[in-house]
């Protein structure tokens, strides 16, 4: 018996020819049994009937219909309603053909009696159908009860109301998953209390009292549209009760209609941090962008590439993607042309935003009408060590593009900034604040001043609308905390967090880009748009949650190590400068910050000095000049705190 069991486990799928032969054997037995029933098991009468011809006839017709309906192709241990219907259809087709033949034989006197009595055919239809469906279900039952490993894990499925039965069968039948579905959970009250394949559907609150009694090992999310709030509640409860969590892909993504354990994916932290997307007036975006030549700088980056995707979907007159990262641009161009074939006019430009000659050539060639300036250095500690480079890229690059936008009558210029520009404590944030100040002042300066300072602009008024958007941290962006935590968890730890109390705001990349597109349509020039970023997230709690989602125990399986604040880093990000006020817009998630206005001429002169220091790599002078331009720039955890101390001492002595 042990050898037979091992053989069946190794050869789990019976050959098609074996199923075909066995089906025919069963059909022959069924016709013999039908004759016995019809003649009340009177063997003398049965012997006199000469059953050879009926048996051959039934065998041939069944063979024909078994082949036509492919009854032998199904895997017996996976038999279900579909296999039962296919088998029943084949037998019913055979019954109809035999009935026609036997009636014709009587009408045309081919036989004195019927070839096969109609009563026998009717009995045979029910008998053969019962036997063939029953043996399939019996094999399925025996396989599950005898040959499948006895160690079965109880699982719960969240959702699945549309494909619940198929989902349950697939999970329980798959050879590489030994799971038993004990309950469904759903947030739709119309499904609660009903059953799917004899398994009841509960609300989450109802299921919480039963999960421990069921000894549930895993919860599978099959519902795609569960709200972030509800998903967080389920995840938090499961993590606190050592219940694993996995996502099931939509049914249309299963491999040949079957679910493999390799397709079960861990719940991503991004799913738990996101929020409902901004509802923007898409038609306004389409109307503005569809007829324009649009330039995106920093297009190979996280924000720039997502902007390119969303704009390519609108099919603008021309989309120019610019970056100095040639590999990133090549991959983005390939993606856009494959996913948005309707967007035929895509141009790639490899160039550095701080190279004025290169940017001049770009504007000469393409004459963009809308500019999304996303190119920037964004890594706080790196820029703290390289302030001159931060100024050359973030400030000078912005000034070059903004000036060219005025010169070439660009209609709208949108600067992608950061919440770190608010009361900056680091070089990166301060450099972005200076970029904000410059574009805002440039949009406000007078025509006379323009002629005095930059006569090459041919006495043109400033037609460009300069708009700024400030973002928090975006999920999954290059260099962000979440990809770093994932790498550290995969490596076995430790997971490094700078401080136990550090918090940050998060948004998804598509969400951030939705704000950018909205700002481009609603901005009239000079505005700084900020986003309602919801509640801040404690980074230490984020690390613990990610470790648990990966199936580990924090500080037991994987250590959380606090490394101390990095140069320029602060515990709490701020949404507003103390001198700024907020005005609402038609979208409650988007607000306009009323910023302090600066005089263009004094700003431009200060920037001349700043850029000169930067090109001489005089880092201390660069930071001093930055603090003159942005007085609220107070360094934290940085060597440049000494400058603040000297300034404070000077103020105290003068008072």
Q: DSSP assignment, residue 253? A: G
Instruction: Please state, as a whole number, how many other Cβ atoms lie within 10 Å of the Cβ of residue 177.
Output: 16
% of the chain exceeding 70 in pLDDT: 79
- pLDDT value for 494: 92
What mean pLDDT is predicted for residues 263-273?
Answer: 77
Greater pLDDT, 596 or 83: 596
* CA separation for the pair 159, 256 (Å, rounded): 22
pLDDT higher than 80, residue 123: yes
pLDDT in tens, 369-412: 999 999 999 888 999 999 999 999 999 999 999 999 999 999 99
d(CA 105, CA 94): 17
Domain boundaries defined on the chain: 2-147, 153-267, 282-475+506-533+575-629
563-615: pLDDT as tens digits:
888 887 777 776 665 556 666 676 667 778 777 888 888 999 999 999 999 99
The lowest-confidence range among 199-203, 409-413, 616-620 is: 199-203
Contact 202, 213 (CB under 8 A): no
In the predicted model, what is the mean pLDDT of the chain?
Answer: 79
According to DSSP, residue 394 is labeled I
pLDDT 10s digits, 316-330: 999 999 999 999 999
CATH number, domain 282-475+506-533+575-629: 3.40.50.720
Which of 77 and 561 is assigned the larger pLDDT?
A: 561
When pLDDT is averaged across residues 138-150 and rounded to a whole number, the result is 61
pLDDT of residue 190: 80
Which of the residue ranges 43-57, 228-242, 522-536 has the most confident prediction, judged by mean pLDDT? 228-242
Look at residue 448 in the predicted model and tell me its pLDDT: 40
Q: At 433, is the pLDDT very low, low, confident or very high (cuts 50, 70, 90)? A: very high
Topology agreement, domain 153-267 and domain 282-475+506-533+575-629: yes
CB 289 within 8 A of CB 316: yes
- Check: CATH 3.40.50.2300 for 153-267? no
Give yes or no for residue 161 having a pLDDT over 80. no
pLDDT at 251 over 70: no
| pTM for this predicted structure | 0.70
Task: Report pLDDT digits (tens) over 25-60.
Answer: 887 887 777 778 777 777 666 666 777 777 788 888
495 vs 261 pLDDT, higher one: 495
Of 29, 28, 1, 132, nearest to 76 (Cα)? 132
Please state at what angle helix 539-549 crosses helix 481-490, rounded to 10 degrees: 40
437-490 per-position pLDDT tens digit: 999 998 876 434 444 344 444 445 678 999 998 877 777 666 678 888 888 888
Per residue in 84-107, pLDDT tens? Answer: 777 777 777 777 887 888 777 767
Q: Would you place residue 187 in the very low, low, confident or very high pLDDT band (cuts 50, 70, 90)? A: confident
Which contiguous run of DSSP H or E holds residue 234? helix 228-240
Q: What's the pLDDT band for 261 if we cut at 50, 70, 90?
A: low
Own/partner pairs for 615-622, CB < 8 Å, 24+ apart?
615/388, 615/392, 616/388, 617/388, 618/388, 619/386, 619/387, 619/388, 622/387, 622/388, 622/391
């Amino acid at each position: 018996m042990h050898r037979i069991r091992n053989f069946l486990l190794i050869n789990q799928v019976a050959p098609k020819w074996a199923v075909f032969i066995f089906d025919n054997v069963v059909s022959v037995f069924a016709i013999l049994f039908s004759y016995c029933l019809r003649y009340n098991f009177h063997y003398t009468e049965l012997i006199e009937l000469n059953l050879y011809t009926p048996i051959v006839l039934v065998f041939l017709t069944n063979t024909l219909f078994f082949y036509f309906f492919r009854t032998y192709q199904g895997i017996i241990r996976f038999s279900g309603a579909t296999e039962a219907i296919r088998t029943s259809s084949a037998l019913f087709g055979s019954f109809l053909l035999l009935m026609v033949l036997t009636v014709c034989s009587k009408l045309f006197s081919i036989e004195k009696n019927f070839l096969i009595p109609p009563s026998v055919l009717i009995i045979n239809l029910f008998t053969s159908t019962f036997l063939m469906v029953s043996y399939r279900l019996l094999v399925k039952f025996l396989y599950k009860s005898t040959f499948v490993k006895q160690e079965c894990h109880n699982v719960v499925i969240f959702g699945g109301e549309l494909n619940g039965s198929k989902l349950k069968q697939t999970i329980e039948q798959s050879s590489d998953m030994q799971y038993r579905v004990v309950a469904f959970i759903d947030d739709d009250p119309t499904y609660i209390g009903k059953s799917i394949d004899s398994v009841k559907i509960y609300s989450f609150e109802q299921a919480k009292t039963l999960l421990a009694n069921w000894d549930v090992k895993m919860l599978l999310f099959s519902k795609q549209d569960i709200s972030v709030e509800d998903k967080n509640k389920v995840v938090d409860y499961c993590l606190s009760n050592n219940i694993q969590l996995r996502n099931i892909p939509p049914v249309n993504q299963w491999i040949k209609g079957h679910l493999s354990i390799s397709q079960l994916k861990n719940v991503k932290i991004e799913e738990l941090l996101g929020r409902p997307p901004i509802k923007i007036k898409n038609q306004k975006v389409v109307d503005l962008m569809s007829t324009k030549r649009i330039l995106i700088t920093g297009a190979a980056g996280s924000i720039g590439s997502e902007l390119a995707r969303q704009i390519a979907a609108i099919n603008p007159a021309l989309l120019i993607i610019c970056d100095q990262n040639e590999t990133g641009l090549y991959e983005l161009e390939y993606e856009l042309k494959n996913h948005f074939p309707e967007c035929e006019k895509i141009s790639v430009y490899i160039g550095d935003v701080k190279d004025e000659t290169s940017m001049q050539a770009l504007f000469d060639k393409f004459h963009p009408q809308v500019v999304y300036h996303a190119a920037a250095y964004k890594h706080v500690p790196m820029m703290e060590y390289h302030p001159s480079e931060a100024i050359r890229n973030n400030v000078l690059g912005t000034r070059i593009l903004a000036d060219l936008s005025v010169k070439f009558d660009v209609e709208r210029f949108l600067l992608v900034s950061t919440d770190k520009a608010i009361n900056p404590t680091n070089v990166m944030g301060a450099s972005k604040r200076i970029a904000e100040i410059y574009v805002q002042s440039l949009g406000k300066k007078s025509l006379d001043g323009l002629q005095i300072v930059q006569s090459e602009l041919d006495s043109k008024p400033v037609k460009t609308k300069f708009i700024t958007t400030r973002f928090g941290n975006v999920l999954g962006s290059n260099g962000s905390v979440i990809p770093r935590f994932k790498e550290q968890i995969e490596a076995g730890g430790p997971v490094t967090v700078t401080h136990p109390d550090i918090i940050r705001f998060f948004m998804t990349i598509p969400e951030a880009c939705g704000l950018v597109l909205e700002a481009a349509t609603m901005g009239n020039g000079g505005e700084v748009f900020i986003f309602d970023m919801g509640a801040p997230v404690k980074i230490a709690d984020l690390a613990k949650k990610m470790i648990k989602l990966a199936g580990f125990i924090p500080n037991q399986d994987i250590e959380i190590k606090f490394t101390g604040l990095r140069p320029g880093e602060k515990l709490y990000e701020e949404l507003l400068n103390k001198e700024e006020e907020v005005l609402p817009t038609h979208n409650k998630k988007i607000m306009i910050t009323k910023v302090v206005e600066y005089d263009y001429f004094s700003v431009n002169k200060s920037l001349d000095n700043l850029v000169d220091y930067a090109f001489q790599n005089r880092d201390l002078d660069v930071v001093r000049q930055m603090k003159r331009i942005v007085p609220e720039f107070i360094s934290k955890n940085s060597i440049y705190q000494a400058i603040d101390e000297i300034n404070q001492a000077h103020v105290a002595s003068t008072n």
